[in-house]
Amino acid sequence: MDMTNLQERVIEIRRVARVVKGGKRLRFRALVVVGDGEGHVGVGIGKAGEVPDAVAKAVTRARKNMIEVPLAGTTVPHTVTAKAETATVLIKPAVKGTGVLAGQTVRAILEMAGIKDVITKSMGSTNPVNLAYATMEALKSLKRPREVAELRGVSIEQILKR
C-alpha cells in the first residue's frame, strides 16, 4: 500500500470540556477518515487543545488503523451489516451508476475506500463516532468471492454464478 497518495477528510470536529476547580477546560476532538480511493481506508480520533493538532493526531491514528476493503468493480462484493454500540450500518451492493447512497459519516468512509456505487442504511444511534466504527466493522467483514468459495468448499464459478 502506497502511503503517499492518501487523502484525508474531517468528518466531525467537536468542542469537548472537562470541569476543573477553576472552570471548564476546553479541548477539541476530531474524527477523520483517510483513504487512497483504491480499497484502503482508516478512521481515527484525535483530541488536543487546538483544532489543527487534534486533526493531525486523528490522521496519524487513522493511518495506523487502515484496512483493505475487497471491491467488486465499483461496489462491494455482498450485503453486510455491522454494529458498534447502538449504531447499526447496512451496506448493499448496487449497479454501476447508482452512486453512494449514504449519510454523511458513512458516505465519507465509503468514498475514501473507493466505493462508487452502494446503498446503505444507518439504524439506531446517529453518533458519528459509532457510525464510523460500525462502517469500518462492516467493511472488515466483507469477503472476496474466492474466500467464500473456499469456506463453502465449492468452486469459484458457482459463487460468481449467483
The pTM score is 0.89
Q: Mark whether 45 and 84 lie in a shared domain.
A: no
For residue 120 the three cell numbers come to 446503505
For residue 99, the one-letter residue type is G
CATH of the domain at 11: 3.30.160.20
Quick check: 101 and 93 in contact, CB under 8 A? no
In terms of domains, do 84 and 155 share one?
yes
User: Which of 151, 144, 153, 65 minimizes the C-alpha distance to 109?
Assistant: 65
The order of strands in the sheet holding 118-124 is 80-84, 87-93, 118-124, 100-101
Residue 45 is part of which domain span? 7-67
Domain end among 52, 67, 82: 67
pLDDT for 2: 59
Q: Are residues 56 and 116 in the same domain?
A: no
53 in a structural domain: yes
User: What are the pLDDT digits (tens) for 112-160?
Assistant: 999 999 999 999 999 999 999 999 999 999 988 778 778 887 777 776 6
Higher pLDDT, 162 or 64: 64
- Whole-number pLDDT of residue 145: 75
Q: Please give the DSSP secondary-structure letter assigned to residue 75.
A: B
Q: What pLDDT score was predicted for residue 157?
A: 75
| Same domain flag for 99 and 56 | no
Determine, yes or no, domain membership for 2: no
Helix ranges, 12-103 (H): 51-64
Determine the pLDDT at residue 155. 77
Calculate the average pLDDT of the chain: 91
Structural domains in the chain (count): 2
More confident residue, 65 or 4: 65
Q: Average pLDDT for residues 76-91, to the nearest whole number?
A: 93
CA distance 158 to 146: 11
